[in-house]
Amino acid sequence: MDIFAFLSLLVWYAVAGVILVVIVLMLARLVLNKADLNPFSRPVILLRRWTDPLVNPVRRQLLQFGFSPNVAPLVTILIAILLGYFASQFLNTVIFTARGLTLSTAGGRPIAFLGYIIFGLLAVYSLLIFMRIVVSWGASPSNRLLHFLIRVTEPVLGPFRRIIPPLGMFDISPIVVLLLLDLLQRAVASTLL
């Protein structure tokens, strides 16, 4: 097993572990809420302290869309699984790119080296767009991370936003751009790698 395979396995275990912890915490919160325990008891306070940073932003968004806030722990589980999927995909792409750069450098293949650089940059840009989508759901407009993500991704998203009309109140231009970036990554992988 080479170092890159080991790192890939480590990423999988880390992401799966975080998702599992979130699922256990959210299910415990649901059980304690349904058990109607004393809200000032030590276990309930401790569990709320651990889970409130995850549940409260989801609860606020659910209230804005008219949903019951009682389903916030379940939606948090789904969001954790989705974020875990994207995080593992991104980290595995970074590991794949690093492995490819190492092998193409050792093998003296400059075209493959260039292909891996392009592939990695497309993967990082896709992650930045995805992070902008997720951070914009719960962050305040004055958030510095959100401002950075907007500054970096707007040169690509802006023209697509002008071309693609929103569906009701949903802006689908980031989804279209993510699909196009994925298509470009596949094209680079099949032609240059």
pLDDT digit string, tens, across residues 59-100: 887 777 777 778 888 888 888 888 888 788 878 888 888 888
Helical residues (DSSP H) of 35-71, grouped into ranges? 42-64
Q: Is position 96 within any domain?
A: no
* C-alpha torsion angle, residues 151, 156, 158, 159 (rounded to 10): 160
Q: Cβ(104)–Cβ(117) under 8 Å? A: no
Q: Is position 103 within any domain?
A: no
Q: Is position 90 within any domain?
A: no
pLDDT of residue 46: 84
**Domain containing residue 6:** 1-85
- For 111, residues 6+ apart whose C-beta sits below 8 A from its C-beta are 192
Domain count, the chain: 2
2 and 79 together in one domain: yes
pLDDT band at 138 (very low <50, low <70, confident <90, very high): low
Instruction: Please say which residue of 85, 118, 144 terminates a domain.
Output: 85
Q: Which of 123, 115, 102, 76 is nearest to 2 (CA)?
A: 102
Q: What is the pTM of this model?
A: 0.70
Q: What is the DSSP letter of 164?
A: S
pLDDT digit string, tens, across residues 14-33: 999 999 999 998 888 888 87
Q: Is position 9 within any domain?
A: yes
5 and 81 together in one domain: yes
Question: Angle CA(46)–CA(48)–CA(51) in degrees, nearest 5?
Answer: 110
Q: Is position 29 within any domain?
A: yes
Residue 13 reports pLDDT greater than 90: yes
80 and 114 together in one domain: no
CA 4 to each of CA 50, 58, 111: distance values in angstroms, whole numbers, following the listed order: 34, 35, 21
Instruction: Please say which residue of 85, 117, 132 terminates a domain.
Output: 85
Bridge partners (DSSP) listed for residue 167: 170
